[in-house]
């Protein structure tokens, strides 16, 4: 009798152990999934670009190009948010979401017409330009009329080419203007001669370039947080 009870008790303990092991495995898996999701969120960085359409591309073409740019940046772990801005003073009130000159705006994108391009760009082949963020405002310019004239034929539609040039110049802002690559979207030789070939295939940032962009964005986030903390501390000192 005792033996039967003992066997029954052992059986119960074994079943309980199996159940507890299953629960532990489930919890462990859930925690791992949650940690993985958290890591994924930490590896995604948002950026906001205020957009000035000096070339009068129009909202339909512009938004289509922005979607192509956003797709490329998202693949690298960067989430793009777009804010339309006025190109003349009389239109300021129509763009309440656009930061004013006295408000902070980290990144600026300008679509330039052919006349504006000629006035600021010496190279006849260049399709865009990026300013050095370390020396002032972060401004990316794309030469819309040149891109539009290049589109069609054996290349991709205008909005795709525009989106890829925008992505390249934004990448230049995030990685640094001195960075150059021999291939891919950050190829230093993007021009009329090379773009048709480059546009015929999928163009994305390399893993190294993606990591470099996220590292720079992480540094800027930390610097901004530190500056905010110092400002708050200073204000508290004044109150005391």
Separation CA 204–CA 168 (nearest Å)? 9
Q: For 38-83, what is each residue's pLDDT tens digit?
A: 344 457 899 999 999 999 999 999 999 999 999 999 999 999 999 9
Q: For 102-141, what is each residue's pLDDT tens digit?
A: 455 579 999 999 989 888 887 777 889 998 877 667 899 9
Q: Is residue 96 part of a domain?
A: yes
Give Cα separations from 120 to 114, 117, 134, 142 (angstroms): 10, 5, 20, 12
Whether residue 137 contacts residue 45, with contact meaning beta carbons closer than 8 Å, is answered with no
> Rounded to two decimals, what is the model's pTM?
0.73
Residue with tokens 């507890």: 20
- Name the pLDDT band for 219 (thresholds 50, 70, 90): confident
For residue 166, which of 143, 148, 150, 149 has the smallest C-alpha distance?
Answer: 143
Q: Is residue 187 part of a domain?
A: yes
CB atoms under 10 Å from CB of 214, counted, come to: 18
Residue 157 pLDDT exceeds 90? no
Q: Is residue 26 part of a domain?
A: no
In this predicted structure, what is the pLDDT of residue 26? 36
Q: Is residue 40 part of a domain?
A: no
Count: domains in the chain: 1
Average pLDDT over residues 213-217: 91
Number of separate helices (H) and strands (E) present in the chain: 7, 5
Phi then psi for 58, rounded to 5 degrees?
95, 150
Average pLDDT over residues 145-159: 78
Comparing 93 with 60, the larger pLDDT belongs to 60
Whether residue 160 contacts residue 200, with contact meaning beta carbons closer than 8 Å, is answered with no
Q: Is residue 35 part of a domain?
A: no
Q: Is residue 188 part of a domain?
A: yes
| Three-class SS state of 231 | helix
In this predicted structure, what is the pLDDT of residue 91? 83
| % of the chain surpassing 70 pLDDT | 65
- Measured torsion, CA atoms of residues 55, 61, 66, 72, in degrees rounded to the nearest 10: -110
Separation CA 218–CA 77 (nearest Å)? 12
Q: Is residue 185 part of a domain?
A: yes
Helix (H) / strand (E) containing 78? strand 78-85
Sheet of 45-53, strand order: 78-85, 45-53, 107-112, 138-143, 128-130
| Three-class SS state of 136 | coil
Structure token digits, residue 59 = 């909202």
Residue 144 pLDDT exceeds 80? yes
In this predicted structure, what is the pLDDT of residue 220? 82
In this predicted structure, what is the pLDDT of residue 64? 95
Lowest-pLDDT choice from 3-7, 86-90, 201-205, 211-215: 3-7
Average pLDDT over residues 199-213: 84
CB atoms under 10 Å from CB of 76, counted, come to: 22
Give Cα separations from 225 to 108, 180, 215, 230 (angstroms): 21, 30, 15, 9
Q: Is residue 64 part of a domain?
A: yes
DSSP 39: H
Kind of pairing, strands 78-85 and 107-112?
unpaired
Instruction: Find the CATH number of the domain harbouring 61.
Output: 3.40.390.10
Instruction: Give the structural domain span for 127.
Output: 45-223
């Amino acid at each position: 009798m005792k033996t039967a009870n003992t066997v029954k008790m052992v059986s119960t303990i074994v079943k309980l152990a199996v159940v507890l092991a299953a629960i532990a495995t489930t919890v462990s898996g859930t925690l791992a999934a949650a940690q993985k999701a958290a890591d994924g969120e930490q590896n995604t960085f948002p950026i906001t670009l205020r957009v000035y359409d000096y070339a009068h591309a129009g909202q339909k073409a512009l938004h289509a190009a922005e979607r192509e740019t956003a797709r490329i940046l998202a693949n690298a772990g960067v989430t793009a948010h777009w804010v339309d801005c006025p190109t003349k003073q009389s239109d300021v009130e129509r763009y309440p979401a656009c930061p004013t000159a006295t408000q902070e705006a980290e990144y600026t994108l300008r679509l330039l017409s052919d006349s504006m391009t000629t006035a600021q760009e010496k190279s006849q082949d260049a399709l865009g330009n990026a300013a050095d963020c370390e020396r002032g405002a972060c401004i990316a310019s794309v030469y819309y009329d040149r891109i539009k004239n290049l589109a069609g034929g054996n290349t991709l539609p205008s909005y795709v080419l525009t989106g890829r040039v925008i992505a390249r110049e934004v990448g230049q802002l995030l990685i640094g203007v001195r960075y150059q690559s021999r291939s891919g979207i950050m190829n230093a030789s993007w021009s009329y001669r090379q773009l048709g070939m480059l546009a015929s295939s999928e163009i994305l940032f390399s893993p190294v370039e993606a990591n470099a962009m996220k590292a720079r964005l992480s540094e800027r986030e930390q610097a901004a947080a530190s500056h905010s903390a110092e400002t708050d501390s200073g204000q508290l000192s004044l109150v005391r």
